[in-house]
Structure 1
Amino acid sequence: MQRLKIGMIGTDTSHAVAFARILNDKQHPFHVEGGSITHAVRHCSTDFELSYSREKRFSEALSEQHQIPFATLDELERQCDAILLEAADGREHLELFSRIAAWKKPVFIDKPLALNVDEAKRIIQLAAHYGTPVMSTSALRYAAALQRQLGLIDRSAIRRVSVRCPLIIEQTQSRYFWYGIHGVEMLFALLGTGCTATALKVTEEAELLIGEWSDGALGEVRCCYDVAKPFEAIIETAEETIPIRLDDQVPFYASLLEKVMVFFQTRISPVPADETLELITFLEAAEQRYSERRV
């Protein structure tokens, strides 16, 4: 397998440092083979405090702990085989991707792909136009406990899924695109595409994002105000009820990066573009319903 030189765009997220540890440190207990981050482009959003307030610290960690040099986009194009687009601000993803789409290098865009359906469609269209492979997902989709259970059941037999996740909101990132997306990724990992109707229910404890699938399956994501609540899922079939509680015995990022490295080699995303777009559509519909209830 070719050892890839990976360029990173965006140094304002903890993901940048976590990914560098797992990919670049061969002594890391969950080291992922196949390539290393060789260059990084510094980037942050000046109106997003969680972005600009942490960028210097994360950049210093990349430079001092992992000896990753900073580069320009032009240098990334010349020297790297694949790209991790890690900018924390989902509002920036379309603009940043538009600057690199013509390179035709495989690009992983960290969650969310975009903060609305129109921009998500534009990214997918640009990728198709240039023949640039794109993958976008939350690490929770590949949590070991979730994937283990998926391997044991027939997904078509699932009649109902309930996912629980914390609701953490960053004002610049809309309501559900910052943390609710983790639960929605889990939901779509279990039910796939085919959501035909959505609803929203707000209780004293949580906001429930509800969907109905074309095969009759029902799904809900319970976004909990108590942010200490763990990520969990309950799968119901005609024969059994299966609880899944996610743990970090295998770090979520390590499980994700295993999939990303295969994607970089094969140039085929394990998450089809139509599923990512439907997931963004689901989130946008929930946002719209939340806005309508406040009018």
Structure 2
Amino acid sequence: MKEEIRVAIVGLDTSHSVEFPRRMQAPDCPEELKVNGMKAVTCLRFETPFTNKETLDKRQQQLEDWGIKVTEDFEEAVADCDAIMLEINDPAYHLEYFKKCMNLNKPIFIDKPLADNYHNAKEIYDLCKKHNVRAISASALRFSHNLVEACSKVPKPMQSYFYGPLGIPPVGSGIIWYGVHCFEMLERAMGLGAVSVDVRKDAAGAVVVVEYPDKRRGIVELTVGAYTYGGTLRAENQIASFVVDSSMFYTEELREIYRFFKTGEASLTLDDALEIMDMLDCAARSYETGKPVKLNRYAE
């Protein structure tokens, strides 16, 4: 791959479509936030229920000020790039646009969550495996240096607790759309292997209990309007608590994306993203029914 990776941004309904290019090439981006080696060259604009024309126009102007061509033509958006970032806030569009990109023979980053439900996420996963598509998907919270440090202090937690916001989306499930951030932290700490999810809903939001083998347990507390993240990891004679530094996590994630685009290697795989999606899908169902739900993979 070229020394400077030319990136196509697909989607403009999320602030991430601006925040990632800012760290690639904005002249006024602070040095400590920059990630060198990538340049956003194009952005595909289209409307979703998550935005409006006024917001899209404002974001388009910002991207154009940084030399990024914004277009409504998919072929034009992906014609002259080395890698693709699917930056679509509405996860219901992820499978559709992944299918448009999968045969281009270019590495793909799919912003959180992998899809809008487990079925569609599994289709993305299966297509990647069948056609050898190079793709990863993650939330920036997974790469927070505060979480990474806590995981190094307690590498095999028996219990873990994470807190963050429960967003209220214009369409779809808030558990899936915004709960993904806390579930990313949970999976980063606990690893693969979740068995079931049980959600208690209350006036403040939701508390999720995730069961693992060997009496391990994860708790995710999602609160409406509480836009801070953190948690605690515990094992025998080990404990580590942390609060996420929100000023750095976009940069920390973009460094990982650059590493993946450059080398094909990453600290996570689509297996991680699929289990997170499985937990989110089950949590959304448990939130509605009030009953525990076993992960979908046990029904396959």
- The aligned length equals 287
Worse overlay, 109-118 or 125-134: 125-134
Worse overlay, 69-78 or 117-126: 69-78
Counterpart of 1:32 in structure 2 is 35
- Residue 285 of structure 1 deviates from its aligned partner by 0.8
How is 1:121-160 mapped onto 2 (pairs within 5 angstroms)? Answer: 121-153=122-154, 155-156=155-156, 158-160=157-159
Q: For each residue in 1:82-121, what CA deviation from the matched residue of structure 2 results, as whole angstroms up to 9, or x when unmatched?
A: 0011011100010011011001211011111101111001
- Residue 52 of structure 1 deviates from its aligned partner by 5.1
Alpha-carbon contact 2:21-2:39 (below 8 Å) kept: yes
Counterpart of 2:265 in structure 1 is 268
1:87 partner SS:
coil
2:70 partner SS:
coil
Q: For each residue in 1:48-105, what CA deviation from the matched residue of structure 2 results, as whole angstroms up to 9, or x when unmatched?
A: 1435552222112111x21211243323443100001101110001001101100121
Q: Structure 2 CA distance, aligned partners of 1:92 and 1:127?
A: 17
Question: In structure 2, what residue type is equivalent to 1:263?
Answer: F
TM-score by length of 2: 0.90
Counterpart of 1:222 in structure 2 is 221
Q: Structure 2 CA distance, aligned partners of 1:201 and 1:90?
A: 24
Counterpart of 1:252 in structure 2 is 249
Q: Structure 1 CA distance, aligned partners of 2:107 and 2:27?
A: 23
How is 1:110-259 mapped onto 2 (pairs within 5 angstroms)? Answer: 110-153=111-154, 155-156=155-156, 158-225=157-224, 227-228=225-226, 230-248=228-246, 250-259=247-256
Alpha-carbon contact 1:104-1:131 (below 8 Å) kept: no
Counterpart of 1:284 in structure 2 is 281
| RMSD value, Cα | 1.9
Q: Which structure 1 residue ranges, 5 or more long, are not aligned? A: none
Alpha-carbon contact 2:163-2:222 (below 8 Å) kept: yes
Q: Structure 2 CA distance, aligned partners of 1:75 and 1:159?
A: 50
Worse overlay, 162-171 or 262-271: 262-271
Counterpart of 1:68 in structure 2 is 68
Q: Structure 2 CA distance, aligned partners of 1:138 and 1:51?
A: 24
Alpha-carbon contact 1:20-1:36 (below 8 Å) kept: yes
Q: Structure 2 CA distance, aligned partners of 1:5 and 1:116?
A: 30
Q: Structure 1 CA distance, aligned partners of 2:238 and 2:50?
A: 45
Counterpart of 1:44 in structure 2 is 47
- Residue 276 of structure 1 deviates from its aligned partner by 1.1
Distance of aligned partners of 1:35 and 1:278 in 2 relative to their CA distance in 1, 3 Å threshold: same
Q: Structure 2 CA distance, aligned partners of 1:233 and 1:51?
A: 35
Q: Structure 2 CA distance, aligned partners of 1:49 and 1:257?
A: 23
Q: For each residue in 1:211-247, what CA deviation from the matched residue of structure 2 results, as whole angstroms up to 9, or x when unmatched?
A: 111233100100013x235211011111033211112
Alpha-carbon contact 1:22-1:28 (below 8 Å) kept: yes
- Residue 131 of structure 1 deviates from its aligned partner by 1.6
Q: For each residue in 1:235-274, what CA deviation from the matched residue of structure 2 results, as whole angstroms up to 9, or x when unmatched?
A: 11110332111123x5211010000000111223432212
Q: Structure 2 CA distance, aligned partners of 1:27 and 1:203?
A: 43
- Residue 206 of structure 1 deviates from its aligned partner by 3.7
Alpha-carbon contact 2:13-2:50 (below 8 Å) kept: no
Counterpart of 1:85 in structure 2 is 86
Distance of aligned partners of 1:265 and 1:208 in 2 relative to their CA distance in 1, 3 Å threshold: same
Q: Which structure 2 residue ranges, 5 or more long, are not aligned? A: 292-300
- Residue 204 of structure 1 deviates from its aligned partner by 4.3
Distance of aligned partners of 1:49 and 1:75 in 2 relative to their CA distance in 1, 3 Å threshold: closer
Q: Structure 2 CA distance, aligned partners of 1:7 and 1:264?
A: 12
Question: In structure 2, what residue type is equivalent to 1:58?
Answer: R
Q: Structure 2 CA distance, aligned partners of 1:133 and 1:140?
A: 22
1:176 partner SS:
helix
Alpha-carbon contact 1:31-1:254 (below 8 Å) kept: yes
